[in-house]
Structure 1
Amino acid sequence: MIGILNRLVGHIEAQLRTQINLADVVRAEGTTEYHVRRMFSSLAGMPVSEYIRRRRMTQAAADLLSGEDLLGIAIRYGYGSAEAFGRAFRSVHGASAGEVRENGGPLRSQPIIRFSLKVEGNSPMDARIIERENFQLIGYAAQVPLIHQGANPHIQAHIASIPVTEHARLKELSAVEPAGLLQVSDQVDADYQEGTELTYLHGVAVPADATVPDDLDSIQVPAGHWVVFSVAGPYPSALQELWASTATSWFPSNPWRLRPGPSIVAVLDRAADFSTATCELWLPVEADR
């Protein structure tokens, strides 16, 4: 995976002034665009689309300072107008193209990313691979923004809005693994960009053919393989650190890749104030051949 990401960066660098088709590049590597986008975002801390934009604006600044025509530069980097280019330029450098041309800055350059993997082997990750038939996730769903660090207040507000009696009712409906009340994230942006909208469902797992009560939402989950990680510690920081470790350690070291589908957190045990918890993280995967 690390090699694939570095070759992707090389391709981006060679094609900054042309149309970049990530799907074609990834297909030649024998993996999927979905998996590569998620791994790039997790490891680089930004979506691949944002990295491309920053690298293009870094190169464009040099062209601008050489005195080239603004519209010509805009077209070279894929923008249909000088205005659209100017907005992208300001968003990266924090100054307009005119200000930079006049004053020589300020400039905020994006270095070329190089991915590397440091494996020490002294922190094993508890995981298991299971194969599941199709099933359903049912409960109360809401659209919320993606937040990487700390508790998500939008999710907290959604859970708080569910009557206490409904939590007990959902537990009684739980019928298949993952067991108990679940925290489900679905339709997550492939780039995993903070602030993008996802579907969050607070609910349980039931068989695919189970009848869903009219007042509950449902997510159909197709058959396939899942990797299940276990973690115990401060909540939610330990869980968020586990998420990061799947990208930095587990996926680069194992012949599996992410496939589209919901991610599921099952809380197995927790402190009364939810300051600590024991959780399972379920991620949909497929063999990376």
Structure 2
Amino acid sequence: MKVRVVEKEAFKITGMKKSYLFREDENLREIPKLWDEVNKNGTVNELLSITVGEVSGILGVCVDKSEEADKNMDYWIAVASEEESAKYEKLEIPASKWAVFEVHGPMPYSMQNVWQQIYSEWMPTSTYQQAGYISFERYTEDDPSSEDCYSEIWIPVK
């Protein structure tokens, strides 16, 4: 597993969000369906047209809300952007030190496998600890069904 650690200033994202439960792996089943929907209905292309900043591509942003009784996470499909939009919501991603993990292979399985490796292998043996409740996936313009697809997982660490 390839990982690098980077410092990043705060930045804003613009996009749409849905809430999911971790219970019974609802998030693992339902988030790929959301991606299918936004890829088919043009939302991804619309968001890409307003992206600005160092963090390029489409972002899948996980906001852990597990301390709340009614939901466990918000999942955003968004882009880095300062642009105001009546159609989309905004969220600020705080400045942080980030562990950036490379993901290679077709979606969603490659992404889900790397998430599992991070928490079962890397976190228990690393000198870093997770430092925040927002993490994100960065998707490039590669074909998501390709064995050569490249994407990343960004986790705040201390």
Q: Which range, TM-score by smaller chain?
A: 0.7 to 0.9
1:202 to 2:64 alignment: no
C-alpha RMSD over aligned residues: 2.8
Q: SS state of the match for residue 105, structure 2?
A: strand
2:47 is the alignment partner of 1:175:
no
- Counterpart position of 1:41: none
Bigger share in helix:
1
Residues 228 and 281, structure 1, Cα contact 8 Å, conserved in 2 = yes
* 2:12 maps to which of 136, 140, 156: 136
Find the structure with the greater CA-based Rg.
1
Matched, 1:218 2:86: no
Q: CA-to-partner distance for each residue in 1:171-191, whole Å, 9 max, x for gaps? A: 12111233111111113426x
1:7-50 C-alpha deviation (Å, 9 max, x unpaired): xxxxxxxxxxxxxxxxxxxxxxxxxxxxxxxxxxxxxxxxxxxx
Q: Which residue in the other structure is 1:236 paired with?
A: 108
Counterparts of 1:162 and 1:254, CA distance in 2: 35
Q: Give the Å deviation of 1:229.
A: 0.4
Return the offset for 1:158: 6.8
Out of 37, 42, 46, the position equivalent to 1:160 is 37
Partners of 2:120 and 2:153 in 1: CA distance: 16
1:11-90 to structure 2, matched below 5 A, reads: none
CA separation of 1:165 and 1:196: change in aligned 2, threshold 3 A: closer
Q: Percent identity?
A: 22
Q: Please give the TM-score of this superposition, normalised by the length of structure 1.
A: 0.47
Kindly indicate whether structure 1 or structure 2 has the higher relative contact order, using CA contacts under 8 Å at least 6 residues apart.
Answer: 2
Using the alignment, how far apart are the partners of 2:76 and 2:44 within structure 1? 13
State the Cα deviation string for residues 110-132 of structure 1 (Å, max 9, x = none): xxxxxxxxxxxxxxx21111111
Distance 1:162 1:279 in 2: 16
**Residues 145, 280 of structure 1: alpha-carbon distance in 2 compared, 3 angstrom cutoff:** same
Residue 250 of structure 1 and its aligned partner are, at CA, apart by 1.8
Shift of residue 159 of structure 1?
Answer: 5.5
**What is the letter of the counterpart of residue 199 of structure 1?**
D
List structure 1 runs of 4+ shifted beyond 4 angstroms: 147-151
Cα distance in 1 for partners of 2:32, 2:106 equals 18
TM-superposition CA deviations, 1:223-259 (whole Å, max 9, x none)? 1111100021242222222112112322233221101
CA–CA distance in structure 2, aligned partners of residues 132 and 150 of structure 1? 27
Change beyond 3 A, Cα 1:239–1:188:
farther
Whichever residue aligns with residue 4 of structure 2, its letter is R
- Report the structure, 1 or 2, having the larger strand content: 2
SS at match of 1:265: strand
Name the structure 1 match of 2:121: 249
Count of paired positions = 153
CA gap 1:211/1:239 in 2 versus in 1, 3 angstroms: closer
Structure 1 residue 152, shift from structure 2 partner: 2.4
- Give the CA deviation at 1:133: 0.8
Q: Give 1:36's aligned residue.
A: none
Q: Any conservation in 1 of the 2:11–2:94 contact (CA below 8 Å)?
A: yes
Which residue identity lines up with residue 204 of structure 1 in the other structure? V
